[in-house]
A and B are shown apart, each in its own frame.
Chain A
Amino acid sequence: MRKLILLLFAIMPAIAFGQGFQVNLHGQKQIGMGHTGTGLLQDGASVLFNPGAVAMLPQNYVQAGMSPLLFKSDFNPSGSTDQYRTKNKIATPFTAYGVWGPKDARWKIGLGVYTPYGGLTDWGQDWAGKYSLESLNLKAIYFQPTLSYRVTDFLSLGAGFVYNHGTVDLTRAIPVTDASGNDGQAQLKGSGHGFGWNAGAFIKTNVGLTIGLDYRSQVNTTVKNGDAIFKVASSIQPNFPQPNTFTTTLPLPSTSSIGLGYKPSNKWTVAVDVNFTKWDVYKTLGFDYAKNTPTLQDTYSPRNYKNGWSYRAGAEYKATDKIFVRGGGGYVTTAVKDGYVTPEAPDANRYYLTAGLGYKVTKSLDLDVSFEYEHLDARTQTNIESQLSGTFKTNVYIPGLSLAYHW
């Protein structure tokens, strides 16, 4: 008889994105100043930072930038001296903005294309957490047409519509050994889309202080009929029917921001921003497979994220008529509660420091470079679902470059 109660290997794909997946690389001038910008009028990046500010921009803009990102995580399993490090993979968040309005008109229109969420993590196939994750490549690209209107000289409002195109490609090992001694492997790969909006207000006070308010809505992104590829020993392939598809929804959370800008002299600009990201919408992660077997069940993993805050400050110094020097930094609280930290983006409280340099190539062409260093606190955790236990520590290095043409 030797009844084999049908194989029940838990397959729990997890796309756990945290603050770590919120990519705040939205413009080189703003990065240089510690990601401030809600309460400033810097350039076309206002489309994202504050659509309300767009109508106040003195000129029209076309600009694009890229911030290659190197995410370097280290994992040390509890009770071990082993260290596992993510591979050097470079993610490429980018931005492109256009802002246009007739000269002296009260309105401007804008378009932003940017990558507010994403992650590129590759732990390889031989690390202790391979059954949780081998690699993840997650990208969300937002397209945002925007309209902004200057109500009075001291108040302007704006709003945009957001279309998100998201892609995910996740691999993890399956704890089923084949005849040659190899693990099985699962790959979940697909794309989806979602919709949202944003709105903002920009206020100029008569004491030189500028104030920005911005709200970016939640964007539920549904990946429908993505490919669910399972490579396992041929004798148990029927437990993992192929071809198969999966459907999942990721709630990319809303962000509320308030920003202040101030020019203490004509050489200096200082700014602070506070952001609130409503991560608590991320309660569970579900994967619904088109074909289920007793082995391959739909999964629901608890996430129970908490809301995150970020506090940002930065300054710009006009060294000459052509050269601008920038610096800034910030502190971001984690969205991931104890027990829920996963290797996709091992989230923790983090601080970052930024620096930037702006160069006016011509009267209407800005070249800006930025650099950011982010440090995530070491966090020792046992994941309640996978029991993966150990310490994660992460550093992120992000240079960046943009060109802005304005007239």
Chain B
Amino acid sequence: MKTYRSYLHILLVTGLLGFGACKTSINTPAPSRGTADFTRYISVGNSLTAGYADGGLYREGQLNSYPSIIAAQMQKVGGGTFTQPLFSTDQANGSGYLRLVGFNADGTPKTEQVTSNLAIRGQITVPGFGNVILYTKYTGDINNYGVPLIKLQQITYAPYGNLSGYFERLLPGNSPTNTTSYLDFVTAKPYTFFTDWLGNNDALLYAITGGADPNLRLTDKALFSQLYNLSITQLTKSGQKGAVATIPDVVAVPYFTTVTVGAILAGVQKVNPAAKALYVNALNSDGSHSARIATAADLIILSFPTSMMGQPVAAAGNLPYGLTPLTPIEDKYVLDQGEVAMTQDYVNAYNATIKSVASSKGLAIFDAYAFLNDVKAHGLVVDGVNLSSAFISGGIFSLDGIHLTPRGYAVVANEFIKAINKQYNASIPLANVSSYRGVKFPGDNTK
């Protein structure tokens, strides 16, 4: 009896352990590269491609760049190794970046610049251009050619390697001796597949400076078309396949949608109930600027120092800043209604070019314009996370309000993958968005 029982006991326990070993499995079809070849994938683009985030390029951002996420998934269908021009771990903070340090009593965030462990090696002055910050040189293989700040307009410009610290760090030569254009540099070594997300800065750099910087104009539409055709022709010259992305609408990013005219006015009225309106220096149809009352259609940039509001302006008889036609909010802080319309007109033209050129070459298209506008309008729920275009809480945009968080880049990577799969009849597996972080909040988890 006793042995019988213990035998049963052993049977039960070993039985359960045995079942513990048997796996429940779902048969998934083997992923396929379809008609594309990912043996050597390169990514062409600007800061978004480089993994820029929180107002800087730093190692963690690079490690979570959308091209690196795509490449990791491509490796499941025979893709090759993907090497990024990473900052070293000693200089992991790269250019420096913003980090969140807390919140003010009104719920607004406090940020500070990270200044330690940078990869800055110096600064030179390029005559006729200005100062260029130089970063520690990267030597080694490169698959991710993302260069922050680059415009499509600049990709064939031979001296560009002397004007951009981010491009210069990838080149063998030192500024100001470089003569290799960006387009020639990225196409120098053979590759089988590319993604190309260039063109944002042709509109964005104009917009983020409120349309006020004479050196940062919108790239001419015809020039954009010419260069886009040229670049795609060169990128596909050996029959390479690839994917391109359209340019997001400027009003889809929190950089322009977080600090609103209404919110500023409400803040002013708490101190000065008599204040009726804000004034901005707005674009007229003839190209000149003049002051007028601000409306909700005027977009104030994220970095506008609201503490300036109502301060006496000495040059204008100590009238309060931003509250009179003589002391309007300066042009550089506002993308006013006319500037928004003009930027959108250019972006639409650029996107029409991108789509038609890509279609004519049979490339995959990730319509980032439509995607981010949809996220702005409806939000996005992925794996139980509510994502939106809201600043900080939205989870997609990093602290600069333009570039993405790792989670945002993972979402973008999956959109690229979906476009590639569709165009090339492939089945690259999607990345797990929930394993990438959103904005980092100060403090560790409470115990």
Interface residue ranges, A against B (CB under 8 Å): 1-10, 12, 68, 70, 72-83, 85, 88, 90, 126, 128-132, 175-182, 184-185, 230-237, 242, 361, 367, 369, 371, 378, 383, 385-388, 391, 393-395, 397, 399, 401
Contacts and interface: CB of A to CB of B under 8 A. Distances in A.
Contacts of B28: 76, 80-81, 83
A1 B306 contact: yes
Nearest to B60: A181
A374 to B, nearest CB: 11
Nearest to B393: A7
Contacts of A6: 107, 393
Contact of A393 (B24, B390, B395): B24
B386 interface: yes
B434 A128 contact: yes
Q: Which of B106, B383, B414 has the most CB of A within 10 A?
A: B383
B313 interface: no
Q: Which of A3, A184, A235, A367 has the most CB of B within 10 A?
A: A3
7 contacts: A3-B258, A4-B108, A4-B391, A128-B435, A182-B444, A235-B100, A235-B442
Contact of B445 (A5, A130, A178, A387): A178
B23 A77 contact: no
Nearest to B111: A2
Given A10-B386, A393-B26, A4 B103 contact: yes
Interface string B378-393: 0001111110001111
Contacts of B11: 399
A184 B431 CA distance: 21
Interface in B93-108: 100, 102-103, 106-108
Given A5-B393, A80-B432, A70 B444 contact: no
B19 A397 contact: yes
Contact of A3 (B19, B24, B107): B107
Contact of B384 (A76, A230, A387): A387
Contact of B440 (A12, A79, A181, A393): A181
A401 B23 CA distance: 24
Interface residues of B, number: 63
Q: Which of A7, A85, A180, A393 has the most CB of B within 10 A?
A: A7
B362 interface: no
A279 B441 CA distance: 42
Given A79-B429, A235-B103, 19 more contacts: A3-B259, A4-B391, A5-B390, A8-B390, A12-B384, A74-B24, A76-B28, A79-B430, A80-B430, A81-B76, A81-B429, A126-B435, A131-B384, A180-B444, A182-B444, A231-B445, A231-B447, A397-B19, A399-B16
Nearest to B110: A2
Nearest to B414: A79
B148 interface: no
A179 B444 contact: yes
A73 B386 CA distance: 25
Contact of A128 (B383, B395, B443): B383
B393 A4 contact: yes
Contacts of A74: 23-26
A88 to B, nearest CB: 4
Given A4-B391, A74-B26, A231 B446 contact: yes
B31 interface: yes
Contact of B441 (A177, A185, A393): A177
Contact of A1 (B304, B427, B429, B447): B304
A76 B24 CA distance: 11
Nearest to A74: B24
A81 B445 contact: no
A131 B24 contact: no
Contacts of A180: 444-445
Contacts of A10: 386
B263 interface: yes
Given A2-B302, A132-B384, A177 B437 contact: yes
5 smallest beta-carbon distances between A and B, as pairs: A234-B443, A131-B384, A233-B441, A386-B384, A1-B306
A25 B416 CA distance: 49
Contacts of B107: 3-6
B118 interface: no
A233 B386 contact: no
B5 to A, nearest CB: 8
Nearest to B421: A79
Contact of B391 (A2, A85, A179, A182): A2
B312 interface: no
Q: Which of B19, B107, B414, B442 has the most CB of A within 10 A?
A: B19
Contacts of B414: 79
B190 interface: no
A345 to B, nearest CB: 14
Given A3-B263, A77-B430, A235-B102, A182 B108 contact: no
B8 A131 contact: no
B446 A73 contact: no
